[in-house]
Structure 1
Amino acid sequence: MKRGDIGIALVLIVVVAWFGISKFMGEDGAAQGNYAMIEVNGKHYDTVALTEEPRDIEIRTERGYNLLRVSREGIEMVESDCPDQLCIGFGHVHDVHGTIVCLPNRVFVEVTGDQVEGSEPDAVVS
């Protein structure tokens, strides 16, 4: 290896290490101050902080049943009796403007709060 190759390798190692450390230190978009707004049938149901201790939120309506799990990692739909089960596939949502939608049961969840760098829209079209 030449002297220049060693320099490039060292820079690459430092960059990879920095990204790895920032990922494990919680700088992955789950910003302190984010919260989830839950709507059922178009009406506000609950607002929960994503920094709370883990807890489950049961939503029972005439349309069906949903179970949301809130934790520091975000919010996720863990159970639903809707026929398509698409809402289960959203996984943990923690970024601002991230959503979970269960159309058959009319449940809508959106993460709002402190803006995380890189989470704002690229462009706004009017």
Structure 2
Amino acid sequence: MIAAVILAAAAAVFFFQVKNRTSGTVYAIVEQDSKELMRLPLSEPGEYRISDGDSYNVIEITEGGVRMKEADCPDQICVSRGLIQKSGQSIVCLPHRLVIRLEQLGDQELDAVVE
């Protein structure tokens, strides 16, 4: 009985993960003051410096995701956030009004249709 419950739970988790996979490219969307500055595919590694007056942020894209490599903000929360890898995750540098969010573009299934 216990083995059947564990097997059913494992099957449900596997089905949920497979069902929610989508094909498409994941992009790091960089915004400042609610304006999109750049849209960077995670498939192309590189470093990008964003300067605004005396302040700056350095964004690093690796094969595994994106991170705020360096910033001159006082709290360094954006740098300590580390690497983000999945669509829907974000990094925020509040002092510099900068947001990096991951978004997957491509073939995605509809969750529901509302009339």
The answer for the alignment partner of 2:56 in structure 1 is 65
Identity %: 30
Aligned length: 87
How far apart, in 2, do the equivalents of 1:32 and 1:98 lie?
16
Q: CA deviation at 1:63?
A: 5.8
TM, length-normalised to structure 2: 0.68
Tell me how far 1:62 sits from its aligned partner: 2.3
Q: Quick one: which amino acid aligns to residue 75 of structure 1? A: V
CA-CA distance at 1:56 after TM superposition:
0.4
* Alpha carbons of structure 1 residues 63 and 110: separation in structure 2 relative to 1, 3 Å: farther
Which of 82, 85, 108 is the equivalent residue of 1:91? Answer: 82
CA RMSD of aligned residues (A): 2.1
What aligned pairs does 1:105-124 form with structure 2 within 5 A after superposition?
A: 105-114=96-105
Q: Which amino acid aligns with 2:67?
A: E
Unmatched 5+ stretches in structure 2: 4-20, 107-115
4+ runs of 1 displaced by more than 2 Å? Answer: none
Give the match for residue 14 of structure 2: none
Q: How many Å separate the matches in 1 of 2:54 and 2:89?
A: 24
For residues 45-97 of structure 1, give each alpha carbon's deviation from its aligned partner in whole angstroms, at most 9, with x where no partner exists: 00000011x21010000261100001211110010000000000111111010
Give the counterpart letter for 2:47 in structure 1. D
Partner residue of 2:91?
100
Structure with greater strand share of residues: 2
Distance 2:48 2:102 in 1: 15
Question: Which of residues 31, 37, 46 in structure 1 aligns to 2:38?
Answer: 46
Cα separation, 1, equivalents of 2:102 and 2:54: 23
Larger radius of gyration: 1
